[in-house]
Amino acid sequence: MRHIISIIVENEFGALGRIAGLFTARGYNIESLTVAPTHDESLSRMTIVTFGDDNVIDQIIKQLNKLLDVVTVADITDSPHIEREMLLVKVEASSGESREEFKRMVDIFRGRILDVTETIYTIEVTGACSKLDAFLEALGEREPLEVVRSGAIGISRGDRRVQVEDRSEPAASNRTTGE
């Protein structure tokens, strides 16, 4: 089963490496991984798309929860959610016929043509990963010249949020340290 795991991590040195390292060391799949800062500058949000049966996903979440940098982990595929990925693709569009065809396809997939030369279209399509797959599929024999995908991000619908529960400042030491 495909799962989208959302992780809020401390914006600390080495956090990304530790999380990626955990997936490597334990042999978990990563289909895509994205990471970027959030509205709280001390935190980053990472989205990992992975495959595995329930036991594997359960282990992934539990193992992630053991990492110090990890603040919150959630499998957003647990509940209704929105998934988005961006695709940028360069195609050869030199004939009038192909230029028309690409414009139609871009309309159908609600994409945009971002850049044009005499021979090239650069197209943007945004949507769930499966939609981007479908777009690439639909190109058929018109082999793309270059493809770049952002990797998926996701967010739960409605009230559900992946958030930091305790927003308080770093706790003072609860041990007596000679003060």
What Å distances lie between residue 159 and 58, 61, 79, 155, CA to CA?
24, 22, 11, 11
For tokens 């493809």, what's the residue? Answer: 147
- Phi and psi at residue 135, to the nearest 5°: -65, -45
Amino acid, single-letter form, for residue 179: E
User: Contact between 177 and another protein (CB under 8 A)?
Assistant: yes
* Dihedral sign from CA coordinates of 107, 145, 148, 152: positive
**Which member of 29, 34, 38, 72 binds another protein (CB under 8 A)?**
72
Query: What's the min distance (Å) between Cβ of 47 and another protein?
Result: 17
User: Contact between 25 and another protein (CB under 8 A)?
Assistant: yes
User: Contact between 173 and another protein (CB under 8 A)?
Assistant: yes
What Å distances lie between residue 170 and 9, 38, 176, CA to CA?
15, 19, 16
- Report 32-71 residues binding another protein (CB under 8 A): 42, 55, 58-59, 62-63, 65-71
Q: In whole angstroms, give the CA distance from residue 179 to residue 176.
A: 7
User: Contact between 27 and another protein (CB under 8 A)?
Assistant: no
User: 137 vs 179, which CB is nearer to another protein?
Assistant: 179
Query: What's the min distance (Å) between Cβ of 160 and another protein?
Result: 19
User: 118 vs 165, which CB is nearer to another protein?
Assistant: 165
User: 159 vs 173, which CB is nearer to another protein?
Assistant: 173
**Which member of 41, 118, 141, 166 binds another protein (CB under 8 A)?**
166
Query: What's the min distance (Å) between Cβ of 151 and another protein?
Result: 22
User: Contact between 80 and another protein (CB under 8 A)?
Assistant: no
Measured at the alpha carbon of residue 63, what is the angle toward residues 60 and 64, in degrees to the nearest 5?
Answer: 80
User: Contact between 21 and another protein (CB under 8 A)?
Assistant: yes
Query: What's the min distance (Å) between Cβ of 60 and another protein?
Result: 10
The DSSP result for 95-154, as a single string, is SHHHHHHHHHHHHHTT-EEEEE-SSEEEEEEEE-HHHHHHHHHHTTTS--SEEEE---EE
